[in-house]
Structure 1
């Protein structure tokens, strides 16, 4: 009832003649002026009216339920900010972020007095008909501003202080706010024009696909993958679904985690529907957009090219396109459906997941309500920063308990976010599979090499054998130098360079080419190739990195258990152009905990085989957990417990911002890029902002296929285009963009665009 009342009352302030006059105004300049007048605003007065009515209902209920006691204030906050972003609930010591109570408020008396009594009382017929609640305008205090000051501004400060320190209240408000803005936006966009029906998915579709595409197991690796799949299937079929809802799929790289996790989620979804009458949405998250397309394509194949209401891809560069049945939605409709995860299976980023929880942003919070009764798959969970382990643990425990949400953590290198007693293993005998796989040997070179020395060692290696090599460097610049050096050898092989220096569409083509080619390959890449990229190379050499990164890159070597053991070598490469500074420090810092613990675990080991991976990772993460500081997590948890929504947003950063300026560059690489840029320029000429925005959203995916982001020191254009993108046309490309290696990083040359 209280939630219904929140929805019913959220726009009651639109009944003022000030707002109605604004709606009727046809002159755009006058309308813009009126919009900024405080009497035209409807959120604040609606919030105060709702607080008065819902407080009365709570008092009448005479319950000691703490959540009921909080509902008037939560409703006030949600309605007040339903067209914006919630701030902090109250002001806290030593925190100057905005809060919801320190607003100008006297003008609401003029607004409320202006509402026609008959109209107001007529609107209140609906609560009487549905809930038997009698409300009239005459029941309200003489001055709403006085009510706000006494019952919200003063009382809520003390009430919120007394009731805070409980993490669940943070999530409950997020859920209420998400419900309100989701319903409000959906009604505004669709009205009653479309009904969103649930779609059934065959729980055995992954099993049937594997049987159809691959048949019975043929090789030793096939048997291992099949056994892991069956173990997980057996576990999820027999697990107590009333017990803990944190699961783990912790098995070696290359053992079919993508197939297994989707099948497990579908089996769990079927059980929940059969046993609990709950339809669970599946939310599959990955750390990087670079591997989303690859795994999305796997799901797409399994589901036989489903429509968007069955399988949805969502990240900031994904297509703005939504189709259900015979209906293709308009751009603004599609954008809303995508951003609110209106699909049975959503493939998205961890950024979208956690920044929809730890945020105060309206646009991000709209999908929070989709986590209720959901099955959330967190692939490559080891990519989460250590400093947020404690935070993530509390989030998952709270949301799973409050909203019946399941979390499945998927990785070959399980971090110590949870104790073994706090999670359930989908493959309880995982140690057996780690011990069965001995695909690679990792050797650690004790003596560091300068980049010049390393280049020479690499040259000699590729010239002495006909095997394929993958070289993984810590920085784009060191990768560029190495690639140019190796290309000079002119040995017979296919050369590939992979880094963010290259436009996204070309990177995807190269990864696909590497995967399909049977010829000898020489690949130079940055760390972007480590997680989830399905390629298989004889030899992998990597510049020094944290142990989980080393293990991940091993997953690109002898991935499918060939007859010949793969070889991985780890070097410390020094930047001889900068006082022999280790390249690892540019990425991981000077003395990061991860690097210190990696060296401690590896001390005394010249070579480690794959069978030791699980033991080494357990030791490594135990040392990380023992020595890391929970300060960052504790700070954000304290903000959450004190309902400091804006402060949570300001302090949680899943992706650290770089300390230098970058510039976005559009490369006219081919004829499609030429057409896309021309379309973009024509869109920028459209005067109507909403139309311009929707037109761009329709081409956004194609547009960003040709955009790279480059440190500003490597971009020396005389002036920006009015579009805020640096544009490099086909004629200009030879001076600044190499089709093999991407943006030419030279500080001395000056490019004119």
Structure 2
């Protein structure tokens, strides 16, 4: 039978053009054979006449395409086994079968997420339906002819059939080749991730008629501009006649770090650490290191990742003084390029302007930009994800410099795992990473007597511990960085005794406590007893948090007394300088970060940090509510190793001992989520175990084991901030009675519901997303005890997209969200 081999992949687009377009795009991101083959076969199932009818509005039966494409690939591979094995160096039947399965997964799941390989096709009703359909309609599926004559692949003709029963086909694909995988699990895992991300990015770009690569178009300008403006900025620093000793040391650190990275690059090192005291100018130093790597290695993009939104805003401000175009990707920052594209469309609703909106959104979602600022959640979850939407970013993690600041804010279970992961990832993708903090963890993989599937030393065989770029101990010993003394208050402190101690000292102070309830109780005790008592915690909307910090800074500059009572949210990245800091019992890194807010700019001979243990009226330690189970070890370390009095320049050896104790007492890849209703994100972060997280109430997942067993779906359940610790509630605080944000958002949603055109539906979704970012300054994100929500305020209207709108009757600009029982809320 002679067939007409003209088919469409999308309305008005030839299948042949789409396949070659996707193939070209895939190879731009990955040269792996499995990626190229998956691109060629991913849409061959669209030859199905039912699918062709569906493109033109006619539904005539089974019209799915992905699993028909899988069937085509497997039959092609089997009939051409000898040539495939020879071309790709496959030596055994197991290696060949694994090769088939990898490509089959990429094809079959390219509109879904990566599965666990062992169950990739087991029990798949969809694959059985596709197999039965292929067997019954083989004469109407000229896939082999299309491959030979249209795609012009040199191969033996093949048929779309498999034995006598379709379940034999499914059984073949379900035979997970563990023996072959275990030969190089890390390689195969990263190969599969890379190929999948390259395929789905290319597929979406080609289907959306998006042939632009913004990174390629702008990287050269970005590189030159950063180099020029950094030089100009440092020249201005040098010309400052009033240069301080602190700035002299900052310059020394920067120069030494640059020399360190030069030496490392000569040895083909890919990952480095920068350990420097708080206030040492790490942001400018990291940008200078990135600039030097670019000089040595060419036009590489920069991804600057930080743990908290408050710090990303500070880095964004610095970056925007150096560069014309910076993209900050998070839940709060509006995208100016998308906003401008939306405005152009509002002025002229042309197809071209609509396409421009979709392109700008794709740029943001895929990190297709030369300078990205983002959060740890976006960055680290993308590295290990199995999700289609998240893995779209991964092609743009190639040829990048990762600047990872405040790395100690990662949960300790992840320190070594992600250091080793980045080391391998950077070697594979011509990328580099700088890990920076004032409290650097120990990153050597300890050898443990445990199940081989969980041994990180066996998985990361080529891992090299990152080299430190500066003589950090020398700088920690400098007098200029000996800015405070930590004094341990020997007696346990009640609210009353703490109030008395604070009032006895005639000066401004910062008090950092472990829970929101504690901060509110202390605030209520102090208000009226001293001037300028301010409260700060996550029960304040972001706009008010910024205002309170700015107010504190202004009062300090004016030499007016201010008492700021805060939770840990002020610990890292907030540039504020108090003469006195109080800190409730906490792990050592938190203590050092808190102390970094004391005499930060070295204006005093010595700042005072008071370290104490707050107890409730019944004598129970408040810290124990937060740091539970293994987290107690961190508290015990501080109780044992922090003497009655210790200076800042004596802490380096103490923190080294702390991270050594963590290193020796953890199992890389293992983490158990505590199920207590009072557990919060801070206690999770301070858990000793590394890399394992809880998938449900009874199961835990080990990252190292996931890689060893090709468990992509299990690995993809990882969340940096675990959702099992409580239910998240979002509140928008109305500005006043005239606030119409609810009505505007509801109007946009109603427009979306009525929209049937794909492109315009996408445009409205983007517009809604951007509108919510506009509201983010007044949105609270709170986690509450899932078993007791009775104390939460009721919204005045039905919630929209999970956001509850409440009036100012439930909120105070000085006290935050007003609740009946705040013990059931997390930090």
Shared fold (TM-score, shorter chain, > 0.5): yes
**1:742 aligned residue:** 816
CA contact (8 A) 2:327 2:372 kept: yes
**1:211 aligned residue:** 235
Match of 1:655 among 721, 725, 739: 721
Compared with structure 1, are the counterparts of its residues 727 and 626 closer, same or farther at alpha carbon in structure 2 (3 Å cutoff)?
closer
Task: Tell whether 2:254 aligns with 1:229.
Answer: yes
Work out the CA distance in 1 between the residues paired with 2:368 and 2:50: 36
**1:84 aligned residue:** 112
Query: Normalized against structure 1, the TM-score is what?
Result: 0.86
CA contact (8 A) 1:458 1:486 kept: no
Match of 2:121 among 96, 100, 120: 100
**2:707 aligned residue:** 640
Compared with structure 1, are the counterparts of its residues 58 and 135 closer, same or farther at alpha carbon in structure 2 (3 Å cutoff)?
closer
Task: Tell whether 2:626 aligns with 1:626.
Answer: no
* Residue-by-residue CA offset, 1:224-262 (whole Å, 9 max, x unaligned): 111111111222234334433220110100010001001
**1:75 aligned residue:** 103
Work out the CA distance in 2 between the residues paired with 1:396 and 1:718: 44
CA contact (8 A) 2:162 2:168 kept: no
Q: Secondary structure at the match of 1:489?
A: coil
* Residue-by-residue CA offset, 1:611-659 (whole Å, 9 max, x unaligned): 1121111011112222234433472211111111111123x33223353
Work out the CA distance in 2 between the residues paired with 1:302 and 1:147: 65
Work out the CA distance in 1 between the residues paired with 2:367 and 2:255: 30
Q: Secondary structure at the match of 1:100?
A: coil
Work out the CA distance in 1 between the residues paired with 2:261 and 2:165: 54
Matches within 5 A, 1:412-431: 412-418=438-444, 422-428=465-471, 430-431=473-474
Task: Tell whether 2:334 aligns with 1:319.
Answer: yes
**1:48 aligned residue:** 71
CA contact (8 A) 1:358 1:648 kept: yes
Deviation, structure 1 residue 433 = 4.2
Task: Tell whether 2:614 aligns with 1:588.
Answer: no
Deviation, structure 1 residue 428 = 3.0
Compared with structure 1, are the counterparts of its residues 696 and 442 closer, same or farther at alpha carbon in structure 2 (3 Å cutoff)?
same
CA contact (8 A) 1:15 1:115 kept: no
Deviation, structure 1 residue 501 = 0.4
Work out the CA distance in 1 between the residues paired with 2:370 and 2:211: 21
Match of 2:408 among 369, 382, 385: 382
**1:555 aligned residue:** 596
Task: Tell whether 2:521 aligns with 1:481.
Answer: yes
Compared with structure 1, are the counterparts of its residues 713 and 245 closer, same or farther at alpha carbon in structure 2 (3 Å cutoff)?
farther
Work out the CA distance in 2 between the residues paired with 1:626 and 1:60: 46
Once structures 1 and 2 are overlaid, which stretch shifts more, 590-599 or 286-295? 590-599
Work out the CA distance in 1 between the residues paired with 2:133 and 2:243: 76
Q: Secondary structure at the match of 2:175?
A: helix
Deviation, structure 1 residue 341 = 0.6
Match of 2:583 among 502, 520, 542: 542
Task: Tell whether 2:496 aligns with 1:452.
Answer: yes
Deviation, structure 1 residue 295 = 1.2
Compared with structure 1, are the counterparts of its residues 670 and 512 closer, same or farther at alpha carbon in structure 2 (3 Å cutoff)?
farther
Q: Secondary structure at the match of 2:217?
A: coil
Deviation, structure 1 residue 148 = 7.9
Task: Tell whether 2:350 aligns with 1:342.
Answer: no
Work out the CA distance in 2 between the residues paired with 1:288 and 1:539: 24
Work out the CA distance in 2 between the residues paired with 1:321 and 1:445: 50
Compared with structure 1, are the counterparts of its residues 11 and 421 closer, same or farther at alpha carbon in structure 2 (3 Å cutoff)?
closer
Work out the CA distance in 1 between the residues paired with 2:630 and 2:597: 28
Structure 1 spans left out of the alignment, 5+ residues: 92-98, 274-278, 749-753
Work out the CA distance in 2 between the residues paired with 1:330 and 1:541: 52
Matches within 5 A, 1:70-469: 70-91=98-119, 99-104=120-125, 105-109=127-131, 111-112=133-134, 113=137, 116=140, 121-122=145-146, 124-125=148-149, 127-128=151-152, 133-135=153-155, 139-144=157-162, 153-154=171-172, 157-164=175-182, 166-192=185-211, 197-200=217-220, 201-202=223-224, 203-212=227-236, 215-216=239-240, 218-273=243-298, 279-303=299-323, 306-307=324-325, 311-322=326-337, 330-418=356-444, 422-428=465-471, 430-436=473-479, 437-461=481-505, 465=506, 467-469=507-509
Query: Normalized against structure 2, the TM-score is what?
Result: 0.78
Task: Tell whether 2:743 aligns with 1:678.
Answer: yes
Compared with structure 1, are the counterparts of its residues 558 and 240 closer, same or farther at alpha carbon in structure 2 (3 Å cutoff)?
same
**1:597 aligned residue:** 637
Once structures 1 and 2 are overlaid, which stretch shifts more, 531-540 or 42-51? 42-51
Work out the CA distance in 2 between the residues paired with 1:608 and 1:355: 38
Work out the CA distance in 2 between the residues paired with 1:606 and 1:627: 26
CA contact (8 A) 1:251 1:434 kept: no
CA contact (8 A) 2:338 2:361 kept: no
Q: Secondary structure at the match of 2:723?
A: coil
Deviation, structure 1 residue 523 = 1.2
**1:95 aligned residue:** none
* Residue-by-residue CA offset, 1:270-311 (whole Å, 9 max, x unaligned): 2112xxxxx4221111112232111111111122xx22xxx2
How many residues are treated as equivalent by the alignment?
701
Work out the CA distance in 2 between the residues paired with 1:682 and 1:207: 49
Compared with structure 1, are the counterparts of its residues 694 and 389 closer, same or farther at alpha carbon in structure 2 (3 Å cutoff)?
closer
Deviation, structure 1 residue 193 = 6.7
Compared with structure 1, are the counterparts of its residues 270 and 676 closer, same or farther at alpha carbon in structure 2 (3 Å cutoff)?
farther
Compared with structure 1, are the counterparts of its residues 148 and 296 closer, same or farther at alpha carbon in structure 2 (3 Å cutoff)?
farther
Work out the CA distance in 2 between the residues paired with 1:543 and 1:643: 44
Work out the CA distance in 1 between the residues paired with 2:305 and 2:428: 21
Work out the CA distance in 2 between the residues paired with 1:391 and 1:182: 27
**2:28 aligned residue:** none
Work out the CA distance in 2 between the residues paired with 1:703 and 1:115: 57
CA contact (8 A) 1:444 1:606 kept: yes
CA contact (8 A) 1:127 1:134 kept: no
Task: Tell whether 2:731 aligns with 1:665.
Answer: yes
**2:616 aligned residue:** 575
Work out the CA distance in 2 between the residues paired with 1:606 and 1:413: 21
Work out the CA distance in 2 between the residues paired with 1:524 and 1:385: 25
Task: Tell whether 2:543 aligns with 1:505.
Answer: yes
Work out the CA distance in 1 between the residues paired with 2:38 and 2:568: 48
Work out the CA distance in 2 between the residues paired with 1:162 and 1:611: 52
Measured on the aligned residues, the alpha-carbon RMSD in Å equals 3.1
Q: Secondary structure at the match of 1:582?
A: coil
CA contact (8 A) 1:356 1:364 kept: yes
CA contact (8 A) 2:300 2:399 kept: yes
Work out the CA distance in 2 between the residues paired with 1:68 and 1:594: 49
Deviation, structure 1 residue 415 = 0.6
Matches within 5 A, 1:603-622: 605-622=643-660
Compared with structure 1, are the counterparts of its residues 539 and 261 closer, same or farther at alpha carbon in structure 2 (3 Å cutoff)?
same
Structure 2 spans left out of the alignment, 5+ residues: 1-32, 345-352, 446-462, 672-690, 693-701, 756-760, 823-827
Work out the CA distance in 2 between the residues paired with 1:718 and 1:408: 45
